[in-house]
């Protein structure tokens, strides 16, 4: 469990599903030691993503929980809460994603945890900021997509409200949490002080959407309505070619003029509707319609060759399956096959970012539920009789053999 710029940072991870596990895996991938604290029932994501080789090891769980150790603690029992506080005393970061009232009931608020560790960085990830009327609402990705206007963007374009078919709210807010945690670590290094952090999903996604689409209501009084017309234009989509689709963008004058030459319409450079960035924005419907119709005349491969040669940004339109065959991803070693102790050989994604001080750590496969319970409890001073008592009371489980009972 060594390697990476965050080596030596200990994280107590009380999160589940996507938003929290994505944040902690990012930190784990760069060297942090992450202890995943699960309820006796386990993270629901273990079962929420289809079939697996063994029970409770779904593909999405594997992709979001590598480089972590799993301990099961029933925090509703005093003995489970006591063990958690022992872990918190040794941790740098304490991360959770329940509703705030749950942490109050468990007596695991920031004030409770900082008693055992004044330097702790205590971070709550939840649906809605605690100062507002939604503070006790439950939240999942779709709830936040709908509430923050993401689904309405599809409605504006197609007439039908739809969620983005990727958990974009969870993943976006997970990345924001990583930023906040790293900022808190830097602040602690400078001041010696711990911190309490709140990362609400709704407010962060509202900001994410409105930075793009507050548009003319940015001004007071408003100069018009909401919604970036260029981004929301129906023609802003993968473009049909003679044999498939292609994705292009021509924003600058140089790119647009090269496009006019490529499609055999050089006279459009002098057309007042298309001769400048401002003009193309004002006439975006006509611009996209003309562009899209022109690209039907050649195959995707022919257009890609032309656009690569003339400096027009373009990419093939990938399906999920063709993306996994993309030659560039294989050039950079994006995929790697690794052996998992229970799931056999799995396809893993390597870290796409590189840094001169090194980013990789030793690979640790996603754990079985409670796989490291006994190991971790021993590390914080519990002897085998005490651990056996916790197992007997169901405050923990020994997941090494996939059943309750001390395996040795």
Co-location of 271 and 307 in the same domain: yes
Co-location of 25 and 136 in the same domain: yes
Query: Are the C-beta atoms of 66 and 360 separated by less than 8 Å?
Result: no
Q: Indicate whether 86 belongs to any domain.
A: yes
Q: Indicate whether 234 belongs to any domain.
A: no
Co-location of 336 and 279 in the same domain: no
Of 266, 290, 316, the residue that ends a domain is 316
Q: Indicate whether 80 belongs to any domain.
A: yes
Q: How confident is the model at residue 403 (pLDDT cuts 50, 70, 90)?
A: very low
pLDDT tens, residue by residue, 219-275: 999 999 999 999 999 999 999 999 999 999 999 999 999 999 999 999 999 999 999
Average pLDDT over residues 177-188: 98
Co-location of 36 and 136 in the same domain: yes
pLDDT tens, residue by residue, 292-347: 999 999 999 999 999 999 999 999 999 999 999 999 999 999 999 999 999 999 99
Give the C-alpha separation, 406 to 401, whole Å: 9
**Total number of domains in the chain:** 2
Residue 201's pLDDT is: 98
Q: Indicate whether 48 belongs to any domain.
A: yes
Burial label for 255, CB within 10 Å (0-12, 13-18, 19+), is middle
Share of the chain residues as helix, strand and coil, in percent rounded to the nearest 5: 45, 15, 45
State the CATH number of the domain containing residue 273: 3.30.1540.10
Co-location of 186 and 124 in the same domain: yes
Of 265, 287, 316, the residue that ends a domain is 316
Query: Are the C-beta atoms of 95 and 113 separated by less than 8 Å?
Result: no
Q: Indicate whether 225 belongs to any domain.
A: no
The beta strands (E) that lie in 110-254 are given as: 121-126, 195-200, 239-240, 245-248
Co-location of 88 and 201 in the same domain: yes
Structure tokens at 90: 């040794």
Does the pLDDT value for residue 24 go beyond 90?
Answer: yes
The beta strands (E) that lie in 18-107 are given as: 33-38, 68-72, 93-96
Q: Indicate whether 264 belongs to any domain.
A: yes
DSSP 366: P
Co-location of 244 and 165 in the same domain: no
Co-location of 269 and 369 in the same domain: no
DSSP 399: G
pLDDT tens, residue by residue, 268-288: 999 999 999 999 999 999 999
Give the C-alpha separation, 336 to 360, whole Å: 13
Helices (H), 30-109: 59-64, 78-89, 100-105
Give the C-alpha separation, 239 to 340, whole Å: 41
Residue 256's pLDDT is: 98
Does the pLDDT value for residue 402 go beyond 70?
Answer: no
Q: Indicate whether 364 belongs to any domain.
A: yes
Co-location of 106 and 255 in the same domain: no
Structure tokens at 34: 């992450």
Q: Indicate whether 42 belongs to any domain.
A: yes
Co-location of 344 and 308 in the same domain: no
DSSP 243: S
Burial label for 90, CB within 10 Å (0-12, 13-18, 19+), is middle
State the CATH number of the domain containing residue 78: 3.40.50.10540
CA 186 to chain centre: 22
Short-list 263, 244, 255, 269, CA closest to 314: 255
Co-location of 153 and 180 in the same domain: yes
Q: How confident is the model at residue 404 (pLDDT cuts 50, 70, 90)?
A: very low
The neighbouring-strand residues paired with 335 are: 349
The neighbouring-strand residues paired with 337 are: 347
Does the pLDDT value for residue 67 go beyond 50?
Answer: yes
Domain that holds residue 280: 239-316
Structure tokens at 42: 């386990």
Of 292, 316, 340, the residue that ends a domain is 316
Co-location of 14 and 151 in the same domain: yes
Give the C-alpha separation, 213 to 149, whole Å: 10
């Amino acid at each position: 469990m060594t390697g990476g710029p965050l080596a030596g940072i200990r994280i107590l991870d009380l999160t589940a599903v996507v938003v929290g596990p994505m944040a902690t895996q990012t930190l784990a991938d760069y060297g942090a030691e992450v202890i995943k604290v699960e309820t006796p029932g386990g993270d629901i994501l273990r079962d929420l993503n289809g079939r697996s080789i063994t029970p409770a090891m779904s593909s999405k769980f594997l992709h979001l929980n590598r480089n972590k150790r799993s301990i099961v603690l029933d925090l509703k029992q005093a003995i489970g809460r006591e063990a958690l506080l022992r872990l918190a005393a040794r941790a740098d970061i304490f991360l959770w994603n329940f509703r705030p009232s749950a942490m109050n009931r468990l007596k695991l608020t920031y004030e409770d945890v900082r008693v055992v560790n004044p330097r702790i960085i205590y971070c709550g990830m939840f649906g809605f900021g605690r100062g507002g009327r939604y503070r006790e609402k439950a939240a999942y990705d779709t709830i936040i997509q709908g509430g923050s206007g993401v689904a309405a963007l599809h409605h504006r374009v197609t007439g039908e409200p739809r969620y983005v078919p990727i958990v974009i709210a969870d993943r976006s807010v997970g990345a924001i949490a990583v930023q906040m945690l790293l900022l808190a670590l830097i602040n602690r290094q400078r001041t010696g002080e711990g911190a309490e952090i709140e990362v609400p999903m709704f407010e962060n996604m509202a900001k994410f959407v409105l930075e793009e689409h507050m548009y003319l209501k940015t001004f007071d009084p408003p100069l018009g309505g909401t919604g970036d017309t260029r981004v929301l234009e129906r023609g802003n989509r993968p473009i049909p070619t003679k044999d498939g689709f292609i994705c292009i963008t021509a924003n600058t004058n140089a790119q647009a003029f090269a496009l006019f030459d490529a499609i055999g319409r050089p006279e459009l450079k002098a057309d007042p509707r298309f001769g400048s960035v401002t003009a193309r924005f004002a006439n975006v419907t006509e611009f996209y319609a003309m562009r899209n119709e022109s690209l039907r005349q050649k195959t995707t491969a022919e257009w890609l060759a032309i656009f690569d040669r003339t400096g027009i940004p373009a990419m093939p339109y990938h399906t999920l399956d063709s993306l996994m065959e993309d030659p560039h991803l294989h050039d950079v070693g994006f995929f790697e096959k690794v052996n998992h102790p229970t799931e056999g050989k799995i396809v893993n994604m390597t870290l796409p970012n590189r840094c001169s001080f090194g980013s990789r750590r030793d690979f640790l496969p996603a754990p079985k539920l409670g796989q490291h319970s006994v190991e971790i409890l021993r590390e914080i001073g519990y002897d085998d009789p005490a651990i056996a008592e916790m197992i007997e009371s169901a405050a923990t489980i020994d997941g090494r053999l996939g059943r309750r009972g001390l395996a040795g």
